[in-house]
């Protein structure tokens, strides 16, 4: 099974609308160092196609929907995101691709580290080699 968590955030709402607050602590798994968001993506575009050596992220589809394909080097699974109340927590060494964007899709990402291109593994064969080495070392 590919490891990931689907977090459900507490909602503060009343008849005027809803609000989710994300702070490190019980409801959130790490200190947030960076936030970015992605929108205006063509339905069939495929983004991502990389893994991270260290970075952890929580991914929230604040509007619309999209699919995240997660790959740990052995298996692949698809997670459909369509709620601003849910966050997909991905740790390091998971290859991700995301696609099937609805026209109103806005993906907000909360990241544990500042942007660092050297943390990216953008070549799939390099990813497979690195995850098999990491697994051997952690035995």
One of 48, 64, 65, 99 touching ligand T46 (CB under 6 A): 48
Under rule CB under 6 A, residue 96 binds ligand T46: yes
- Report the C-alpha gap between 31 and 57 in whole angstroms: 10
Binding footprint of ligand T46, residue count (CB under 6 A): 10
Tallying the residues shown for the chain, one arrives at 139
Per DSSP, what are the bridge partners of residue 79? 68
- The reply to whether 80 belongs to the active site is no
One of 115, 123, 129, 133 touching ligand T46 (CB under 6 A): 115
Using DSSP's 3-state secondary structure scheme, residue 13 falls into: strand
CB of 55 closer than 8 Å to CB of 99: no
**76-81/106-111 β-pairing:** unpaired
> Which stretch in 6-14, 16-24, 30-38, 80-88 sits in contact with ligand T46 by CB under 6 A?
30-38
> Binders of ligand T46 among 54-83, rule CB under 6 A?
57, 59
**Least distance between ligand T46 and beta carbon 36 (Å):** 5
- Report the C-alpha gap between 27 and 120 in whole angstroms: 27
Q: Which residues bind ligand T46 (CB under 6 A)?
A: 34, 36, 38, 47-48, 57, 59, 96, 109, 115
Residues catalogued as catalytic: 50
């Amino acid at each position: 099974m590919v490891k990931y968590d689907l977090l459900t955030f507490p909602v503060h709402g009343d008849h005027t609308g809803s609000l989710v607050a994300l702070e490190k602590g019980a409801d959130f798994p790490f200190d947030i160092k960076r936030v970015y968001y992605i929108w205006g993506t063509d339905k069939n575009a495929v983004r991502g196609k990389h893994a991270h050596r260290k970075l952890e992220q929580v991914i929230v589809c604040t509007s619309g929907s999209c699919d995240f394909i997660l790959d740990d080097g052995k298996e692949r699974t698809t997670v459909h995101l369509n709620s601003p109340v849910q966050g997909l927590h991905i740790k390091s060494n998971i290859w991700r691709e995301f696609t099937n964007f609805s026209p109103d899709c806005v993906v907000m990402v909360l990241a544990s580290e500042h942007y660092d291109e050297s943390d990216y593994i953008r070549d799939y064969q390099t990813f497979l080699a690195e995850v098999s080495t990491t697994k051997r070392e952690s035995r």
